Homo-oligomer: A and B are copies of this chain.
Amino acid sequence: MRVEFVNPFLASLVNVLTTMAQLEIEPEKPHLKKGTVAKGDVSGLIGLVGPQTKGSFSVSFEENLALEIMNRMLGEKPSSINEEVTDMVGEITNMVTGGAKRLLAEKGFDFDMATPIVVSGRDHTITHKSDGPIIIMPFKSQFGSAHIEICFDK
């Protein structure tokens, strides 16, 4: 897991939320995940397979933030996480990973993306079981918090 992997994912989430939902989200300091447990209410996960390595990516949202993104992207705000919201989180997961993939390919680091999986459930936790360190990138907004986790083998 190299430090230069951080920015493409971080920039990609900020970019997707700004362009798709006109929503400003503020990145906080990325750090290695060590014993900390980051919780979310709805998360998008995607597996990554490349010639040099494999790994996994996740993006987790607090419910209220996910509902506000839904409101801004589609003009409707459901009262709780429903199938439309999980569809949207799946799309965001694809777009963020796809954006980071393009940026990383320019640096000669290639991987293919599996299909996204969305988890919903109050205060669930996600543990990436790769051999490498897990990098966690927290984000804040006026509607709630989000965080990205990425992990590559070696």
Q: Which of A13-21, A49-57, A63-71 interfaces with chain B?
A: A49-57
Asked if A115 is at the interface (CB within 8 A of a chain B CB), the reply is yes
The interface bits of chain A over 2-30 (1 if a CB of B lies within 8 angstroms of the residue's CB, else 0) are 00000000000000000000000000000
Q: Which of A98-106, A121-129, A140-148 interfaces with chain B?
A: A121-129
Binding site for B on A (CB under 8 A): 39, 43, 45-49, 54-56, 58, 83, 86-87, 90, 93-94, 112-131, 151, 153
Question: In the complex the two chains form, what is the Cα distance from A56 to B47 in whole Å?
Answer: 8
Question: In the complex the two chains form, what is the Cα distance from A136 to B87 in whole Å?
Answer: 19
Q: Does A119 lie within 8 Å of B119, measured CB to CB?
A: yes
Question: In the complex the two chains form, what is the Cα distance from A126 to B44 in whole Å?
Answer: 10
Q: Does A121 lie within 8 Å of B118, measured CB to CB?
A: no
Q: Does A119 lie within 8 Å of B115, measured CB to CB?
A: no
Question: In the complex the two chains form, what is the Cα distance from A114 to B57 in whole Å?
Answer: 10
Min CB distance A72 to B, Å, is: 21
From B114, B126, B151, B153, A47 is in contact (CB under 8 Å) with: B114
Residues of B within 8 A of A116 (CB): 56, 129
